[in-house]
Amino acid sequence: MEVKTNKRRGDPGKPSGLHRTAGCTVEFISSHNRVFDYLSDIQNRPQWERMSNGSSVQALVNITMGPDPRNCIFVLAMSNHKDILILQECCTDGTGSYVIFAPITPDIFQSMLYGVDQDVPLMPFGFSILPKVSGSILDGTLLTMVFQITVKNVSSKQAVEVVTQIIKEALQRIIETVN
């Protein structure tokens, strides 16, 4: 696992402050389509994601992009977090896939919906899902997860521990279910 620190000062589209970004890549024996379908299915989200654990997830908005209905943008609501929505984009084709998401507040969602604020600071995180090829044979998937956290009122060491634990828990749950 690799952890990086960024200090942002007013970068457009990014919240200011100190951020920790952590990421790692794991191999799966399952196909890249199976891993993508699992991660992009909003009903599976509580199984692997800490914030929605113990919650029901509902799509408030679903915008399909192109002919494949799996390529879409969702705005998700969770029953146990009334003050947070999740903006999620899913995209897949034969070369690879991604599932990217970012928490937003209902106020930010309203301003985006009505075009009031075009420069919304987001802290996106998510997955890159690539077919693993050995020679000319597809034999699994490489899954990369990247997670960001804003560091406030915690030490740098604590922030690293939190982000590392979040990634480890999510990947363990995904591995147990998909493999």
pLDDT digits (tens, 9 = 90+) for 84-93: 999 999 999 9
What is the rounded distance in angstroms from the CA atom of residue 75 to the CA atom of residue 46? 15
pLDDT of residue 128: 96
Q: With beta carbons less than 8 A apart as the criterion, state whether 51 and 123 touch.
A: no
From the number of C-beta atoms within 10 Å of its C-beta (0-12, 13-18, 19+), residue 141 rates as buried
Per-residue pLDDT at 158 exceeds 70: yes
Please give the model's pTM, rounded to 2 decimal places: 0.84
Whichever domain contains 157, its CATH number is 3.30.530.20
Structural domain that includes position 22: 2-178
Residue 11 scores a pLDDT above 80: no
Sole residue written with tokens 């106020």: 107
Q: Is the pLDDT of residue 8 over 70?
A: no
Number of domain units in the chain: 1
